[in-house]
């Protein structure tokens, strides 16, 4: 698997940001591609004109479905369990430990970590490995902006995200259904892609606990399991980290998990999907339709790197 064809962050980060690490928390990030700034409830402006990154003809999945049909095994394995079981989940105060191959190695409060980062609205197509999909108006900031502030070292090739481990609050962690805590990771160039966002809200509102409050990851060209929820650790690594689903069932869930209609899951086809709320299935698209990420995988055999 080639890991040497992606840019090192020093190639994509202005020198001044590296030199001025100390003041990053105060720094407002530059405006981002294709996103509109949200402040409070600007969501309403877009209500009648849904705009999906890359297309314009997708209807939004209703709030009730986005926040009521969830995968969050820490709160149960049924799609309705997270909404029911996560309501008292405590997300304030929240802290995030940053470690590994990075210059800003310390624990941040949630507020410190997100301060100065531009929160915008991104309407993304989401595709679950189980064959259903949604269109969701997430609110968040580019992971790239955060990574530039944190300053990975020359040896950082991957970034790993770990969900909270708390058996008292997360009853699902008492069951061996997955190895806990939930861990996901990206290659650094995937994490630096402007489509990769850290999400703190949905539909212009604070992220509900069942969707991964207070902060989760979204990588829209990958199957949904890559989007780790309720993140408490961000670690930069030289080698490819172990990830939860890959560790649990390696034959079925790879590290890359790019949406790919040509590579079937061993137990079912990935060629089509059912958009929640629609009756007919629709064809699934390579990279979930986000063609701009294709250069990240140039030269890779995607049937082997599934
Ligand atoms: N993160 C944690 N910590 N635990 C989980 O069980 N499920 C993943 C992902 N992130 C999961 C998780 C899966 S399989 C999917 S499809 C998405 O979250 C679902 O996100 P949503 O409920 O916000 O749609």
Residue ranges per structural domain of the chain = 9-297
Q: Which neighbouring-strand residues pair with 138?
A: 122, 202
Closest approach atom of ligand 1 to CA 66: 24
Average the pLDDT over 168-193 and give the result. 98
Computed from CA positions of residues 290, 295, 297, 303, in that sequence, does the dihedral angle turn out positive or negative? Answer: positive
Using CA positions, which residue lies closest to atom 5 of ligand 1? 72
Distance 74 CA to ligand 1 centre (A): 10
Cβ proximity of 201 and 212 under 8 Å:
no
CA of 20 to the centre of ligand 1 (A): 35
Phi, psi values for residue 293, rounded to 5°: -90, -5
Instruction: Inform me whether the pLDDT recorded for 21 exceeds 80.
Output: no
Tell whether the model's pLDDT for residue 43 goes beyond 50: no
152 and 52 Cβ atoms separated by less than 8 Å: no
Residues with CB under 6 Å of ligand 1 are 70-74, 128, 163, 182, 211-212, 224-225, 227-230
pLDDT at 58: 85
Ligand 1, closest atom to CA 69?
Answer: 22
**Best residue for ligand 1 mutational test, from 212, 215, 253 (most atoms within 8 Å of Cβ):** 212
- Check: CB of residue 132 under 8 Å from CB of residue 46: no
What is the 182 CA–ligand 1 centroid distance (Å)? Answer: 10
Give distance in angstroms: CA of 72 to centre of ligand 1. 5
**288-302 per-position pLDDT tens digit:** 999 999 999 999 999
Of the residues 65, 72, 179, which should be mutated to test ligand 1's pocket, given the most ligand atoms within 8 Å of the CB?
A: 72
Which residue owns the Cα nearest ligand 1 atom 12? 228
- Cβ–Cβ under 8 Å, residues 282 and 268: no
Residue nearest to atom 22 of ligand 1 (CA): 70
**Whole-Å CA distances, 304 to 252, 253, 259, 264:** 12, 11, 14, 12
Residues of the chain above pLDDT 70, percent: 81
Q: Are 212 and 227 in contact (CB under 8 A)?
A: yes
pLDDT of residue 53: 57
Instruction: Output 76 or 30, whichever has higher pLDDT.
Output: 76
Please state which of the four CATH numbers 2.40.10.120, 3.40.1190.20, 3.90.420.10, 3.40.50.2300 is assigned to the domain occupying 9-297: 3.90.420.10
Whose CA is closest to atom 6 on ligand 1? 72
> Atom of ligand 1 at shortest distance to CA of 181?
3
Q: Beta strand 132-142 with 272-275: parallel, antiparallel or unpaired?
A: parallel
pTM attached to this predicted model? 0.85
User: Given this model, what pLDDT does residue 41 score?
Assistant: 34
């Amino acid at each position: 698997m080639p890991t040497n064809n992606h840019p090192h962050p020093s190639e994509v980060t202005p020198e001044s940001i590296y030199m001025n690490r100390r003041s990053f928390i105060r720094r407002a990030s530059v405006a981002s591609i294709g996103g509109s700034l949200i402040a409070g409830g600007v969501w309403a402006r877009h209500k009648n004109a849904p705009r999906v990154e890359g297309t314009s003809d997708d209807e939004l999945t209703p709030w009730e479905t986005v926040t009521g049909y969830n995968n969050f095994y820490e709160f149960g394995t049924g799609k309705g369990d997270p909404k029911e079981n996560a309501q008292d989940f405590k997300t304030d105060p929240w802290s995030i430990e940053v470690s590994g191959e990075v210059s800003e190695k310390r624990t941040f409060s949630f507020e410190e970590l997100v301060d100065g980062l531009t929160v915008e609205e991104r309407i993304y197509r989401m595709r679950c490995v189980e064959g259903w999909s949604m269109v969701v108006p997430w609110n968040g900031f580019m992971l790239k902006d955060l990574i530039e502030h944190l300053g990975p070292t020359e040896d950082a090739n991957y970034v790993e995200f770990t969900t909270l481990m708390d058996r008292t609050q997360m009853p699902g962690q008492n069951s061996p259904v997955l190895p806990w805590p939930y861990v996901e990771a990206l290659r650094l160039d995937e994490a630096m892609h402007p489509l990769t966002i850290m999400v703190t809200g949905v539909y212009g509102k604070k992220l509900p606990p069942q969707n991964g409050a207070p902060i989760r990851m979204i990588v829209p060209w990958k199957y949904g399991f890559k989007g780790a929820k309720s993140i408490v650790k961000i670690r930069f690594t030289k080698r490819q980290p172990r990830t939860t689903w890959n560790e649990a069932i390696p034959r079925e869930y790879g590290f890359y998990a790019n949406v790919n209609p040509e590579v079937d899951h061993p137990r079912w086809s990935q060629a089509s999907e059912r958009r929640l709320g629609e009756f007919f299935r629709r064809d699934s698209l390579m990279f979930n339709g986000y063609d701009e990420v294709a250069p990240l995988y140039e030269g890779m055999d995607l049937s082997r790197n599934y």
